Structure 1
């Protein structure tokens, strides 16, 4: 299994939160980039983007006490799994170059958001397993 120190795990939660919060704010140009919601009016509506930010704050909120909430970490993993799956479906059913033609920031957003979600799905899954099985490393 992947070896992670507790300080690195805490930083992982912080990074996950920062990626969600600032990723949305930057690429959506603080909710003014209409191209993002044009290409996924449900998941990536302004409300959906706001909820991604809320998830980011949730990750940050447990960075120091994640060991006390193993099932919440499992929820984080499932949430990232769902977004990762939705991203793959989006890529299979949309033309990414068309998004880039309309707006570079939206194109970059749709190129990378799922990669981020899959990576943090793995991270949250590993952390959940370590916490659930009490196989956490020493400080």
Structure 2
């Protein structure tokens, strides 16, 4: 499968924008329900770091091929968040979150799916760069 450079650039931008949606779901870090249900990973500091990761993705969108190991780090980071989300889903009741706040419920419903999708994306890009295939 060949992924075009333009598509990869767009993928980095979309991944960054997806991370920035944390600002919407958290209502600018004022939604106390998100940190309540995962005070370690999804504290307001943790949510801010998600925004920072998103900015990092977008910052290399046009020059991703120059920072192959950073793309690999992005893949590892997304894998970790995806794994943490699966653990959270298996050990928590999502309906409890929805009862308290719909935006928080939506956030917990989708954030891990997003992380798994972009884990695959970053991994494919990393492999492509390692092989030296920039077309």
Scaled to the shorter chain, the TM-score interval is over 0.9
- 2:41 corresponds to which residue? 43
- 1:79 corresponds to which residue? 77
- 1:111 corresponds to which residue? 109
Equivalent residue pairs, number: 135
Instruction: Give the CA deviation at 1:135.
Output: 1.8
Deviations 1:29-79 (A, max 9, x none): 000100000000010000000000000000001000000000000000000
- 2:56 corresponds to which residue? 58
What TM-score results when the alignment is normalised by the length of structure 2? 0.98
Distance 2:2 2:46 in 1: 34
Distance 1:20 1:67 in 2: 21
Distance 2:124 2:133 in 1: 10
Structure 1 runs of 4+ with >6 Å offset: none
Distance 1:93 1:55 in 2: 26
Q: Which runs of 5+ in 1 are unaligned?
A: none
Distance 2:113 2:3 in 1: 21
- 2:13 corresponds to which residue? 14
Q: Which runs of 5+ in 2 are unaligned?
A: none
Instruction: Give the CA deviation at 1:3.
Output: 2.2
Determine which of 66, 90, 101 is the counterpart of 2:99. 101
- 1:125 corresponds to which residue? 123
Distance 2:2 2:95 in 1: 38
CA RMSD, 1 decimal:
0.6
